[in-house]
A and B are shown apart, each in its own frame.
Chain A
């Protein structure tokens, strides 16, 4: 097990785990925030797994999540009938996810070196940041 995989394990334990708790309990706004955060973190998990297993092809999973994850969150925003009651702490989550994205993508780019693989990483990072910015606002009802 290398550091990349350790990072992925940490993200699953410390990121996805709490998100599951948030999505399974509490009000609708809290649940949607948790689901949104989970999809964004999942993308980072796939990036770390791809690097950790030394399988560049696995980044395709992250690429797909970076567009389908936000789409899935927008489905919930669109079709949930109850009004959003997002907790105030949700405001702090999106900068946290942004920081995590940068903290994951930049070291990965450094480790990959310039080339097509790095361009793909940057595309994934940009898609994720854009999707995260839009969905976290949409979940808060803005």
Chain B
């Protein structure tokens, strides 16, 4: 019967990973990715590896989303800057 929990956790991880790939916006991907992390933590714990689950939780719940979202913000800022520059050149011509 313990296999039920393992099977459920595996299914959840597979579904979350697929959903993370199917979402194409990096910020939204970060959201799905955090759920994938939660699922992995459950899977590791169900497989009796709570140490690994705890590592996954520690890294995946706040630090990874923070790094991804900060990177997205920086990239978008560069994109906006270039856009504004191009617009400016267009006007002056």
Q: Which A residues lie at the B interface, using CB under 8 A? A: 1, 5, 8-9, 12-13, 16-17, 19-20, 23-24, 28, 31-32, 34-35, 38-39, 42, 45-46, 49, 53, 55, 57-58, 60-61, 64-65, 68-69, 71-72, 75-76, 79-81
Contact = CB atoms under 8 A, between A and B. Distances in A.
Contact of A23 (B1, B35, B66, B72): B35
Contact of B54 (A1, A8, A9, A60): A60
Contact of A64 (B15, B54, B66): B54
Interface residues of B, number: 40
A24 B20 CA distance: 7
Contacts of A12: 5, 8-9, 12, 42
State the 9 A-B residue pairs at the shortest beta-carbon distance, nearest first: A1-B1, A24-B19, A79-B69, A72-B61, A68-B61, A72-B62, A71-B62, A42-B38, A12-B8
Contacts, number: 113
Contacts of A71: 61-62
B8 to A, nearest CB: 5
Contacts of B19: 20, 23-24
Given A17-B12, A38-B35, A76-B31, A57 B57 contact: no
A79 B71 CA distance: 11
Given A79-B73, A80-B27, A68 B58 contact: yes
9 contacts: A12-B12, A16-B42, A35-B31, A38-B35, A42-B42, A58-B45, A64-B57, A71-B61, A76-B69
Main SS of the interface on chain A? helix
